[in-house]
C-alpha cells in the first residue's frame, strides 16, 4: 500500500502540474518557439526560481503534463475493485481505461504532433510512454504480489504501452474517442483496437 501523501507532497504535485499545464497550453497556442520560461511562470503564478526547482527547460515542463494521469488513490481503488480471479491482464486493461481517458488521449496526440514539428520535444515522447509504462509495472507488481516470475510485468506492460505509440504518431489508423469516421476511411475505433490488442495477449498471436 502506498503511503498517503503529506501536505508538502500535495503542494509539490500541485505546483508541478500548474507549471506543466501552463507550458503545454502555451505550446499548443504559440508553438515551442513562441514562448519562454518567464511566460510559463507568469501563467502558473510562481517564480522563475520555483520553475528551476522542478524543471530544467520548457520542453521538460511540457512533457511533464503527461507524466501522471491516474492518481495513486484511483489505482488503489481499481485494484481493490477487481474480482478475486482477475488476471494481470485484467488489471492492466482496467488501468489503461483509467489512465487513457478521451481527454488524455487527444492531448497526448497533440503532444506527439508538437514533437513532430519541434525537434527539441522529440526525446520526450519516449520518456512519457516510459513513465506511463513504469507506473503500470508498479501497479501490476502490487497486484501480482510475487505470483509471477521476474520480468513478467515488464514484458506485459512493455507490449501494451509500446502498442500505443503508433496510434499517437499516426502510423496506425485508429480513431480516438469522439472522432467521427469518414465513410471512405478504414480507421478502427480506439475501443476496437484496445480489445483486439488484449485479445492477442490473452489468446496468442
CATH number of residue 136's parent domain? 1.10.357
Q: What is residue 2's DSSP assignment?
A: P
For the cut 50, the answer to whether the pLDDT of residue 167 exceeds it is yes
- Determine the Cα–Cα distance for residues 103 and 2; give it in Å rounded to an integer: 27
| Predicted pLDDT at 2 | 46
Residues 123 and 97 in one domain: yes
Tell how far CA 69 is from the center of its chain. Answer: 6
- Determine the Cα–Cα distance for residues 32 and 27; give it in Å rounded to an integer: 5
Residues 83 and 51 in one domain: no
Among 46, 65, 84, residue at a domain's last position:
65
- Determine the Cα–Cα distance for residues 176 and 153; give it in Å rounded to an integer: 26
Among 65, 97, 115, residue at a domain's last position:
65
| Residue 73 pLDDT class (50, 70, 90 cuts) | low
Per-residue model confidence as pLDDT tens digits over 49-71: 999 999 999 999 999 998 755 56
| Predicted pLDDT at 69 | 54
Reference 68, options 24, 6, 160, 131; nearest CA is: 131
- Please state, rounded to an integer, the average pLDDT across all residues of the chain: 88
Residues 183 and 109 in one domain: yes
| Residue 1 pLDDT class (50, 70, 90 cuts) | very low
Among 65, 81, 113, residue at a domain's last position:
65
For the cut 80, the answer to whether the pLDDT of residue 92 exceeds it is yes
- Determine the Cα–Cα distance for residues 179 and 177; give it in Å rounded to an integer: 6
For the cut 80, the answer to whether the pLDDT of residue 106 exceeds it is yes
Q: What is the pTM of this model?
A: 0.81
Per-residue model confidence as pLDDT tens digits over 3-27: 566 888 889 989 999 999 999 999 9
Q: What is residue 34's DSSP assignment?
A: G
| Predicted pLDDT at 183 | 58
| Predicted pLDDT at 133 | 87
| DSSP assignments along 103-166, one per residue | HHHHHHHHHHHHHHH-GGGHHHHHHHHHHHHHHHHHHHHHHHTT-S-TTHHHHHHHHHHHTTHH
Residue 44, domain extent: 1-65
Residues sharing a CB contact under 8 Å with residue 13, sequence separation 6 or more, in sequence order = 5, 68
Residues 17 and 59 in one domain: yes
Q: How many CB atoms lie within 10 A of CB 135?
A: 20
If one compares 134 and 204, the residue with the highest pLDDT of the two is: 134
If one compares 86 and 67, the residue with the highest pLDDT of the two is: 86
Residues 164 and 203 in one domain: yes
Residues 119 and 160 in one domain: yes
C-alpha cell of 205?
Answer: 498471436
Residues 109 and 202 in one domain: yes
Residues 89 and 179 in one domain: yes
Residues 188 and 155 in one domain: yes
47: CATH: 1.10.10.60
For the cut 90, the answer to whether the pLDDT of residue 125 exceeds it is no
For the cut 80, the answer to whether the pLDDT of residue 150 exceeds it is no
Cβ pair 190, 178 in contact under 8 A: no
Residues 151 and 178 in one domain: yes
C-alpha cell of 200?
Answer: 492477442
Residues 56 and 93 in one domain: no
Sign of the CA dihedral running 122, 12, 28, 42? negative
Residues 104 and 149 in one domain: yes
If one compares 1 and 124, the residue with the highest pLDDT of the two is: 124
| Residue 151 pLDDT class (50, 70, 90 cuts) | confident
Please compute the mean of the pLDDT values over residues 151-160 and round it to a whole number: 89
Specify the number of domains making up the chain: 2
Amino acid at each position: 500500500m502506498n503511503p498517503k501523501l503529506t501536505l508538502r507532497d500535495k503542494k509539490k504535485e500541485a505546483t508541478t502540474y500548474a507549471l506543466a499545464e501552463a507550458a503545454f497550453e502555451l505550446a499548443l497556442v504559440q508553438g515551442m518557439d513562441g514562448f519562454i520560461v518567464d511566460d510559463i511562470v507568469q501563467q502558473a503564478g510562481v517564480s522563475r526560481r520555483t520553475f528551476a526547482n522542478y524543471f530544467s527547460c520548457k520542453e521538460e515542463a511540457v512533457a511533464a503534463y503527461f507524466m501522471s494521469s491516474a492518481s495513486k488513490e484511483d489505482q488503489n481503488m481499481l485494484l481493490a475493485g477487481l474480482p478475486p480471479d482477475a488476471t494481470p491482464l485484467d488489471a492492466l486493461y482496467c488501468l489503461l481505461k483509467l489512465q487513457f481517458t478521451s481527454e488524455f488521449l487527444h492531448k497526448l496526440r497533440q503532444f506527439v504532433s508538437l514533437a513532430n514539428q519541434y525537434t527539441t520535444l522529440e526525446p520526450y515522447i519516449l520518456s512519457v510512454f516510459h513513465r506511463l509504462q513504469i507506473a503500470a509495472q508498479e501497479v501490476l507488481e502490487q497486484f501480482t504480489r510475487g505470483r509471477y516470475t521476474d520480468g513478467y510485468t515488464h514484458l506485459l506492460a512493455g507490449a501494451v504501452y509500446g502498442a500505443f505509440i503508433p496510434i499517437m504518431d499516426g502510423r496506425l489508423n485508429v480513431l480516438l474517442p469522439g472522432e467521427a469516421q469518414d465513410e471512405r476511411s478504414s480507421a478502427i475505433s480506439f475501443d476496437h483496437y484496445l480489445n483486439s490488442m488484449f485479445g492477442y495477449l490473452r489468446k496468442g498471436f
